[in-house]
Structure 1
Amino acid sequence: MGPALPFEILSNIAVYVDPKKNLACALVCKQWTEPFLNKRWCSITVTLEVAKYICNTRSQNNVYLKNLHRTLELKLMNIPKADMKYLSKVQQIYCKINWFEYDRPYRSDCIIQEIDWSPWKSLVHLSIPLCNRSLTASEDFFTKLSVLSCLTHLTLKEAVTQQSLEETIVVSWQDIELLHLNLPRLTYIDIRLRIKAIPAIDANKIRRITPAHAITNIRYGSDYIDAFW
């Protein structure tokens, strides 16, 4: 009965199978190979070691490159600034992904400001840490993100601090407005950062701003949001 199941049904079944068993399922028969391999390689986690393997191993022996066409989601972990060259190569290789997450790095070694987003113009989902408290730096960063013309879902979180004295990143309403201006197709925003109180004097400015009609969901992870928000 299994081999006679349509590809679409097998693909749906693969979603609920333990990821560790996808490879075993792919070996059951020819009809099962594609749906279970697609699920196995749909999402990958790239550490520095994995990035080096992807970039330095010949294609005929490189299991990541052999399954490149199956990968749509990429999670980045533990790549220091000194090894940015590997990330640039990974971007060129995985230029068609639509989902990217940068796991929370240490703020002192956060590479998010240095990433060139233009190779990933097809991104729809993006989850990244905000590593710089400077509003000027935020403006430059959000301008860089503006090349992501397909982006609809954005999650902003905080990089891990190595010292208790490091200041917490605070998001202002101006930062949110920069997101609207640079990413007009956003429908979902998840802000997992502290929210800066809105001064009463800014209320009239906000009322004159054109609403972001595309936004349908906004989540704030802050413990305190004042009435002006």
Structure 2
Amino acid sequence: MWQRLMDTWIGALVFVATAQCLNTVRVGIIPPWTSVIASALAGSQSDVNVSLHEINTGAVRSAFDKIDKTHKIISSLNLNVVIGPFDPEVSLATESLRIPYLCTTPAETSQRFQFLVQVTPEGTHASNALLDVARAYAWTKVSVFYDDVSGVQVLERMMTNHTIAVRAWRLPKKATLKDVRDALVEMRKVLVEKCVVLCNKDNVQLLLEE
């Protein structure tokens, strides 16, 4: 799965380089995906030269302020493409600048963006795959920890199978240790042993440590 995602990212960058006749693709990365993308590109066999630049707006006062700062960073760095998790302000900035935004997470928006490209599988595919896993291993009780819309899609799909009892806990995007511990305590109360985790890497780390 990871290799396929990496190949998709590389393919998208090759397409950008070819379409714009670039010798080097200047890529803007949205934190906290900097290390992930850098590692993936470092291990690739692509002939495309890539220059990585982090898009870090720092503290912002409002959504408009974030859009403005993102717009200025992308312009000043002369970026050709942006890659990272979906961010509504980033999508508006890239749309205004007419450069591709390779989105590594589900796009949580009803708006249609011409330059937004989702490079991960649609939520329905992941949901069906997880349900197949649950059926194959005859799971009867499953807990789902999630922190974005993809978790909702998986939850809805798994609940269509009435042979599986599903309990779910939604964590904040930036969960605290207390958030995670409270959810795990509730999970243990209902004796659920099989877990599906659909969270950002920081929340996953907290769950694994507990």
Same fold (TM over 0.5): no
Greater relative CO (CA pairs within 8 A, separation 6+):
2
TM-score norm. by structure 2 comes to 0.29
TM-score norm. by structure 1 comes to 0.27
- Max Rg structure: 1
